Amino acid sequence: MPSAPVLDIPYSPTTGPLLAVRDLTVEYATPRGSVGAVDNVSFDVAAGEFLGIVGESGCGKSTLLFAIAQLLSPPAGITAGSVTFKGRNLVGMTDKQLGAVRWREMSVVMQSAMNAFNPVKTIGSQFRDVLRAHDTKDDIAKRSQEVMRLVGIDPVHLGSYPHQLSGGMRQRAMIAMALLFTPDLVIMDEPTSALDVVAQRSLMVQTKELQRELGFAIIFVTHDMSLVSHFSDRLIVMYGGQMAEAGATRKVFDTPAHPYSKGLLEAFPSIRGPRVPLLGIPGSPPDLASPPPGCRFAPRCPSVMPSCTQIEPPLYNVDEVLVRCLLHAEEGALHG
């Protein structure tokens, strides 16, 4: 892994962004050659912000998240770009340096709580492991009980094994574990995908309440756009390893600029609106080993133009929303 240059983005809680991702590129080494899973992604996360990242399976959203947390392992690796967290570039840091940042300042909630907990240890002993590994000064038992209460689980469950909790409780316990050190940034990788709707909604509401209370920033990755509609401040729509659209959540929902965002929004039936036939998005995501020439969404796009298969669209800034689509070449200013 090449050591990226250390960027001088001055950080203080009031000025700079909490997290600045610049030109981040991740490639997987495969027998067929390298596959670019994340291609030149740049964005900021402000302190206390709720950022949603949405896209289909295989669009690179989870890889992006792992790259931010420096959790990639071969054959995947960051080949370019930087991840600047509170003024320090995390790319190229040693494990020891990262150990000081992880959990204390930035924590990750994994997708399936079913597998993320160790099944043969109690919840409490796994909390203890985390607290000891990161040299806590607090009273371990007291802090564990505090975070359990925070997420609305009776602290007696610290003595329970993961299988004794329901899916929703396990996922909440995962969030409690991520909050042990009250970090500034919590990264969540589809934490609700294994839950059913009622548990899903209550987890979202609770996460938002915790955020309001404790003031941490959230990066929330999901394939279900409707899920974050009421909770995130800003939204990034990923397609084929690239940012397709990024902007304020309400704006993206009300006036989606990219045909792919439009498709995602029209892919789920409404519970109250008229009962109309929907099409979803026919076709499947591009093979990232040999992405189609021009726009990566062109083969599935309902409003494709001849130029789409020749020119790779850059990001245009249309009214504070970034969009990678030639439809906006005229009205939008080139971004970056």
Residues engaged in binding another protein (CB under 8 A): 56-57, 152, 166-169, 196-202, 205-206, 223-227, 229-230, 253, 263-265, 267-273, 275, 277-282, 284
In the complex, the smallest distance separating the C-beta of residue 8 from another protein, rounded to whole angstroms, is 39
In the complex, the smallest distance separating the C-beta of residue 242 from another protein, rounded to whole angstroms, is 17
In the complex, the smallest distance separating the C-beta of residue 213 from another protein, rounded to whole angstroms, is 14
In the complex, the smallest distance separating the C-beta of residue 309 from another protein, rounded to whole angstroms, is 22
Mark 133-172 as b/e (b = at least 16 C-beta within 10 Å).
eeebeeeeeebbbbbbebbebebebbebebeebeebbbbb
In the complex, the smallest distance separating the C-beta of residue 51 from another protein, rounded to whole angstroms, is 17
DSSP per-residue letters across 78-113: EEEEEEEETTEE-TT--HHHHHHHBTTTEEEE-S-H
In the complex, the smallest distance separating the C-beta of residue 278 from another protein, rounded to whole angstroms, is 5
Nearer of residues 87 and 291 to another protein, judged by Cβ:
291
**Alpha-carbon gap, residue 133 to 28, rounded angstroms:** 30
Q: Vertex 262, ends 261 and 268: CA angle to 5°?
A: 95
Nearer of residues 169 and 318 to another protein, judged by Cβ:
169
In the complex, the smallest distance separating the C-beta of residue 229 from another protein, rounded to whole angstroms, is 3
Q: Which two tokens stand for residue 217?
A: 């920033």
Sheet hosting strand 33-45, strand order edge to edge? 33-45, 19-30, 76-85, 88-89
> Tell me, what amino acid is at 36?
G
In the complex, the smallest distance separating the C-beta of residue 257 from another protein, rounded to whole angstroms, is 16
Please tell me the total number of residues recorded for the chain in this structure.
Answer: 336
Nearer of residues 82 and 200 to another protein, judged by Cβ:
200
Nearer of residues 278 and 289 to another protein, judged by Cβ:
278
How many of the other CB atoms lie within 10 Å of CB of 224?
15
In the complex, the smallest distance separating the C-beta of residue 137 from another protein, rounded to whole angstroms, is 32
Nearer of residues 279 and 333 to another protein, judged by Cβ:
279
**Alpha-carbon gap, residue 83 to 298, rounded angstroms:** 30
Nearer of residues 137 and 272 to another protein, judged by Cβ:
272
Nearer of residues 7 and 267 to another protein, judged by Cβ:
267
How far does Cα 65 stand from its chain's mean position? 5
Nearer of residues 87 and 167 to another protein, judged by Cβ:
167
- Written in H, E and C, the secondary structure of 124-191 is HHHHHHHHHHCCCCCCHHHHHHHHHHHCCCCHHHHHCCHHHCCHHHHHHHHHHHHCCCCCCEEEEECC
**Alpha-carbon gap, residue 246 to 239, rounded angstroms:** 12
How many of the other CB atoms lie within 10 Å of CB of 276?
8
Nearer of residues 132 and 212 to another protein, judged by Cβ:
212
